[in-house]
Structure 1
């Protein structure tokens, strides 16, 4: 068994919380009848977080093979959630961006997750101290993710306008 260091109880609690978060995201996607898998949703969230990206960079960020990303984005493009394009200054690379529909889907799922998390915290009768909130923020940042307020700011501008690029 792997040693977890001096924070074993915290690490195990976070592991349980991560299972809850994955289940919550999966439930929200299923309830929306969006026909988007969890892996596809993760791709949409990464595009919302990082903005338009080269497909090779996005595959690396998601830790998937470029061919896997291509097939996933084929499906997302057919659903009008992402689009491929070439930048005027980079005609060789294929870039990916959220469409307004893709951005909206991410926003709807995130808002529903926020609503459900609020209900869970209420039902658990949790009254979080600033110290515990700061701890969670540090964990989020250490994982490479954005704090919530920053994430929503990026989400607001994540659908790349068509007139700023040259389509293939």
Structure 2
């Protein structure tokens, strides 16, 4: 629990350091879209473990902030998908850069305790939690997906 609180605190500090008006659940929505690409609001709600109406309201707020946009599904015009705007991707990039810098500092301060077993265990933990690995992050973002 202590490590979990530390990671949440690190994310909150990273959000605050870039001066964006985004809550932690809203940021998680942006991350889902960055990793998975355009999604229906119901898919986002399921990923976040919230009611569909809660997910829809959160996405509406992000649309109003200019961080995500709506687009028709090419396979079914009745379906609306949500994607990241360039501003939304910029928020994700800046927050992750701040978080990465803080993690580098923390790992450097505890360098003597990091062994291959610790790294492997944390990697397995992240995989079991459903997190996408660092090399796969870029797959979800396409600058050409945003309407002109």
Cα-to-partner distance string for 1:139-164 (whole Å, 9 max, x where unaligned): 1111111122223x335x3555235x
- Partner residue of 1:49? 35
| Superposition map of 1:85-96 within 5 A | 85-96=71-82
| Superposition map of 1:71-82 within 5 A | 71-82=57-68
1:97 aligns with 2:83: yes
1:122 shift after superposition: 1.6
Greater C-alpha Rg: 1
1:64 aligns with 2:50: yes
1:136 aligns with 2:132: no
- Partner residue of 2:108? 122
- Aligned with 1:27 (options 4, 13, 21): 13
Instruction: Structure 1: state its 5+ residue gaps.
Output: 1-14, 164-168
1:137 shift after superposition: 0.9
- Partner residue of 1:162? 146
- Partner residue of 1:4? none
* TM-score for both structures, normalised by structure 1: 0.80
Instruction: Structure 2: state its 5+ residue gaps.
Output: none
Give the direction of change, closer, same or farther, for the CA distance of 1:158–1:40 in structure 2 (3 Å limit).
Answer: farther
Paired residues in the alignment total 148
1:127 shift after superposition: 4.7
Give the direction of change, closer, same or farther, for the CA distance of 1:150–1:53 in structure 2 (3 Å limit).
Answer: same
